[in-house]
Structure 1
Amino acid sequence: MGLRFTVLASGSTGNATIVQSSEKTVLVDAGLSMKKLDELMRERGVAGHDLDALFVTHEHSDHIKGLGAFARKYELPIYANEATWGAMERHVGTIAAEKRVIMETGEALDFGSMRVQSYPISHDAAEPVGYCFQENGEKLSLATDLGYVSEKVRSQIVDSDVLVLESNHDTEMLRMGRYPWNIKRRILSDVGHLSNVAAGEALIELMTDRTKRVYLAHLSLDHNQMDLAMLTVNSILENHGIFYKQDEFPLRKTYHDKPTPWDEVRQK
């Protein structure tokens, strides 16, 4: 078995992704209740005791809601940078010293046969990061909660076999929505979230001949729809001369309330 993954949930109501190599199984973020995480994992045939570690992108509640309880229940080490530990400490409760692992931004860690690479992202958190996972030449990149795709982000996630990329909102739906203006301004800012258009424009530079699939992730329940996001992104790709036959269509869906099917990164 090579590198594979399932996005357990994605969106403002909670985020969690399982990445599995031939030797290790890890969870990225735990933004749902412990009960819900257990339930979603069961749907994909995984139990908490099967996990080897937990990686944290940043301290917002939709990424760490169940972190403390889940890690304590299954005695999991938690990997996060020092600033994120400081910001989330009061929210996750007591974590045993030996389970608190500092993984600084930009650090690469060999975790069994899998290399985990942390990289900095632009978001209104203490020191947010994304992660790339590599094994035997396969590359999976997770990139959500991005105010914009910086050159540093681009250099890390370009040429991925599979990319999980934020497509948070439709700009007009957000502007016309019920949120107060200060929240809208935050979402639209360089430390907010990627719009559908921004995701599509980023993919023009991120997709290469190696790219097999792109999962659109972290969609807003109030200011987006998956079909709209996929249509917008695909239209931008087509406008730049990037066309796919229907059976080769690379865009995939994520869900806020159910896991994606297991996806083997090497799979065409």
Structure 2
Amino acid sequence: MGLRFTVLASGSTGNATIVQGDDATVLVDAGLSVKKIEELMRERGVAGHHVDAILVTHEHSDHIKGLGAFARKFDLPIYANEATWGALERHVGQITADKRVIMETGETVNFGGIQATSYAISHDAAEPVGYVFDDDDVKLSLATDLGYVSDKVRLMIEDSDVLVLESNHDVDMLRMGRYPWNIKRRILSDIGHLSNEAAGEALCQLMTDRTKRVYLAHLSLDHNLMDLAKLTVNNVLESNGFFFRKDEFPLRDTYHDRPTPWDEVKKR
């Protein structure tokens, strides 16, 4: 079967993604209330008791809001590196020792045939990570909350069958927006978020003949629009020699308030 996944929600209001293999279901981040996570999961035919583990990217509230409560409700192990555990523990309530799993950055863990590998990213958190999922010859990469795409990140996520990549903001919308300058400066920095243009530039290096689809994720509600993000990214790709027919257009939407359709990442 390979892998299949659904981005339950993506953005500053909350993030959560389900990744499934033949014998395991993994939740990446739990940045919404338990009620909302369960509601979004039901829309895709998944229940909390189907989940085998939760992987955490970093400790910001839009990634861990419902983490502790969801893990306790369904008696789930939480995987995060030691620095992230140190930063999030006071926010998630009591987690028993057997459910508090250290997964250091760069480590690979097998979940019922799904190989999950974490990799370091640049963001203003304790030790933030992204995740790459492999099932035999299939590769799915999740890459959001990136200040920039370093060479090490590129080596981890290039040549993915499917890539979920941050396209957080339009730079002009952000500069003219209502945020105070210190927040704007953080977002624009190397420990902030990828702009639409930066996402397009990154894709020029990340996409190969193997790449089937790219999901644009973690869009700002205040400083971006999905149509604008897709237009900007596509323009950058075209200016660098990537051209697609409309029926082959590889860019896909994510949403802050509803899940994406199931996407099966099949073997080549």
Report the Cα distance in structure 2 between the residues aligned to 1:54 and 1:135, rounded to whole angstroms.
Answer: 18
Deviation at 1:242, TM superposition (A): 0.4
> Who is 2:50 aligned against?
50
Report the Cα distance in structure 2 between the residues aligned to 1:111 and 1:153, rounded to whole angstroms.
Answer: 23
Deviation at 1:267, TM superposition (A): 7.7
Partner SS state of residue 237, structure 1: helix
Structure 1 residue 220 corresponds to structure 2 residue 223: no
TM-score (norm: length of structure 2): 0.99
> Who is 1:238 aligned against?
238
Report the Cα distance in structure 2 between the residues aligned to 1:205 and 1:196, rounded to whole angstroms.
Answer: 15
Partner SS state of residue 45, structure 1: coil
Report the Cα distance in structure 2 between the residues aligned to 1:180 and 1:113, rounded to whole angstroms.
Answer: 46
> Who is 2:119 aligned against?
119
Map 1:1-268 onto structure 2 (within 5 A): 1-266=1-266
Partner SS state of residue 163, structure 1: strand
After superposing on structure 2, the runs of 4+ consecutive aligned residues of structure 1 that deviate more than 2 Å are: none
Name the Cα RMSD after superposition: 0.8
Deviation at 1:114, TM superposition (A): 1.1
Contact in 1 for aligned 2:2/2:267 (Cα 8 Å): no
Contact in 1 for aligned 2:3/2:138 (Cα 8 Å): yes
Q: Deviations over 1:72-122 (max 9, x none)?
A: 000000000000000000000000110000000011112221110100000
Partner SS state of residue 258, structure 2: coil
Partner SS state of residue 241, structure 2: coil
Unaligned runs of 5+ in 2: none
Partner SS state of residue 164, structure 1: strand
Closer, same or farther in 2 for the Cα pair 1:267/1:235, shift >3 Å?
A: farther
Report the residue type matching 2:69 in the other structure. A
Report the Cα distance in structure 2 between the residues aligned to 1:185 and 1:114, rounded to whole angstroms.
Answer: 38
Report the residue type matching 2:185 in the other structure. R
Deviation at 1:266, TM superposition (A): 1.6
Unaligned runs of 5+ in 1: none
Report the residue type matching 1:161 in the other structure. D
Report the Cα distance in structure 2 between the residues aligned to 1:253 and 1:154, rounded to whole angstroms.
Answer: 22
Report the Cα distance in structure 2 between the residues aligned to 1:211 and 1:266, rounded to whole angstroms.
Answer: 12
Q: Deviations over 1:200-222 (max 9, x none)?
A: 00000000000000000000000
Report the residue type matching 2:105 in the other structure. T
Report the Cα distance in structure 1 between the residues aligned to 2:267 and 2:83, rounded to whole angstroms.
Answer: 37
Identical-residue share of aligned pairs (%): 79
Report the residue type matching 1:186 in the other structure. R
Report the residue type matching 2:154 in the other structure. R
Report the Cα distance in structure 1 between the residues aligned to 2:267 and 2:217, rounded to whole angstroms.
Answer: 20
Report the residue type matching 2:53 in the other structure. A
Report the residue type matching 1:251 in the other structure. L
Report the Cα distance in structure 2 between the residues aligned to 1:148 and 1:240, rounded to whole angstroms.
Answer: 19
Partner SS state of residue 260, structure 1: coil
Report the Cα distance in structure 2 between the residues aligned to 1:188 and 1:180, rounded to whole angstroms.
Answer: 13
Report the residue type matching 2:6 in the other structure. T
Q: Deviations over 1:130-167 (max 9, x none)?
A: 00000021000000000000011000000000000000
Report the residue type matching 2:31 in the other structure. G
Partner SS state of residue 140, structure 1: strand
